[in-house]
Amino acid sequence: MSSGAKVQTAFIREITPGVTPPGPWSVLTRISFGLMPTYNTEENNEIGFTRMAQGTTQTTVDVGGDVETKWRYGVLDDLLASCFGSEWVNDTLTMGDKRITFSVASYATDIGVAGVARGAQVSTMAFDFPGDNEITVTTTLAARGWDDKGDNTSYIVNAQTEQSQRRYTFKDISGLKINGVQVGEDNACVDSFNLQFDNEVQTQRCIGNGSPYPGNIIPTRFTPSGSITIAWSKMAYNLWRAQQNGDAIRLEFTVANADGGYDFVIPELEVTGDWPDGGATDIIQVELNFTARRVPPTITRLPAPVAIGTVTITPETLSVKVGATADLEVVVTPTGASQAVRWTTSDATVATVSETGLVTGVKVGTATITATSVADGTKTDTSAVTVTA
């Protein structure tokens, strides 16, 4: 018998839709995996010589389903690109028309049964942001083909190392703003919210290719939507009231931890909701449903800053005349680390230093110029400056 703990799942981005590349595959750590074929049939309504039913005929095959995961930095970026129909450009993603597909496979190691969906693209991605737990993402995929086998071999070849990034939790949500106003305990406490990006995909059947599978999976209208549960307050009332005139609201927030993060901006949302009520011991809350319109949303990826290694000033010693200037150069390692430093002098009556490391001699004497990393104040270096007449 098979154990769910022994089912490996992975995905790989396709170059040609429906064709699985050689690898490597990205491990898909998941809560649940519902991507599978559905074999559609139609009852044979012929009448035979006896009263016996005539059985069914297989018609079409649909391949699709939900995959639920916890959210980690970088792990779902390709799936987000497929959902938005666009590539990440300078760490920014917005709506486009590109078709990005995957092969998504599973392998039950204990019984040697494998399956793979090909030409899979993202139909919807739903993010759940709870008030007391980890953030989950449910990705709904629709595929153009399916293969399976039970010969003790897997379709997954050369799988990458399983994700080690930290899982996002409710504590990693910050900068939650509605109409540019930070939402907090004093104006309108948010209990939870969710957000879904829906491509409203349609299945296109093609006669003549001899296949029961879809000929195409076609995204149609792109609709971001969701809901937010918020404490009933003057701010919540004003948001609820926006539905009276069809006014739009703007939603933005950040999810980030030490591995990196994401900024979400949904510029224009329509709101609907019911007037709330509650019992004598209830905290009154209102659930506002929202749907984006006209202006596409934007997600900005926030890579984790590179840890500062060393700060090095050149030259180590410097001689400058009174009233003259000389430059100090600084390099922060490793490559990719922030080069921002703060310059200070031990004696401004002898020598001053500008924000760019330009030293000016003031009077004869000595001073120490220090460069301190802005990103990591423990990383510094110094240059000994002698001012001469």
The string of DSSP codes covering 121-145 is EEEEEEEEE-SSSB-EEEEEEEESE
Structure tokens at 194: 């969710």
Looking at residue 381, what is its pLDDT? 96
- Does 265 share its domain with 334? no
State which of 250, 277, 303 marks the end of a domain. 303
- Does 64 share its domain with 30? yes
**Residue of 227, 224, 223, 225 whose CA lies nearest to 273:** 227
**Residue of 219, 193, 171 whose CA lies nearest to 288:** 193
Give the model confidence (pLDDT) of 318-375 as tens digits.
999 999 999 999 999 998 888 889 999 999 999 999 989 999 999 999 999 999 998 8
Instruction: Tell me: pLDDT of 262 over 80.
Output: yes
Q: State the chain's mean pLDDT as an integer.
A: 93
Structure tokens at 310: 């060393």
State which of 303, 337, 371 marks the end of a domain. 303
How large a percentage of the chain has pLDDT more than 90?
79
Rounded Cα distance between 192 and 228, Å, is: 6
- Does 243 share its domain with 383? no
- Does 90 share its domain with 239? yes
Give the model confidence (pLDDT) of 9-43 as tens digits.
999 999 999 999 998 999 999 999 999 999 999 99
Residue 297 gets which letter from DSSP? P
At residue 1 the predicted structure's pLDDT band, cuts being 50, 70 and 90, is low
Sign of CA dihedral 76, 306, 262, 202: negative
- Does 17 share its domain with 147? yes
- Does 126 share its domain with 260? yes
- Does 50 share its domain with 156? yes
Burial label, 52 (beta-carbon count in 10 A; 0-12, 13-18, 19+): exposed
- Does 318 share its domain with 241? no
- Does 54 share its domain with 121? yes
Give the model confidence (pLDDT) of 200-214 as tens digits.
999 998 888 888 989
Bond into 334 cis (ω within 30): yes
Residue 374 gets which letter from DSSP? S
- Does 67 share its domain with 175? yes
Contact predicate 318/359, CB 8 Å: yes
Looking at residue 215, what is its pLDDT? 87
Instruction: Tell me: pLDDT of 115 over 70.
Output: yes
Q: Which helix (H) or strand (E) covers residue 241, if one does?
A: helix 234-245
Contact predicate 66/79, CB 8 Å: no
Q: What is the pTM of this model?
A: 0.81
- Does 24 share its domain with 121? yes
For residues 358, 362, 365, 366, the Cα torsion angle rounded to the nearest 10 degrees is: -20
| Mean predicted confidence (pLDDT) in 287-312 | 93
Helix (H/G/I), strand (E/B), else coil: 84: helix
State which of 303, 321, 352 marks the end of a domain. 303
Beta partners for residue 288, in sequence order: 228, 273
- Does 292 share its domain with 372? no
- Tell me the residue range of the domain where 354 lies: 310-388
Structural domain count, the chain: 2
Bond into 22 cis (ω within 30): no
Give the model confidence (pLDDT) of 130-152 as tens digits.
999 999 999 999 999 999 999 99
CATH of residue 379's domain is 2.60.40.1080
Structure tokens at 226: 């969701």
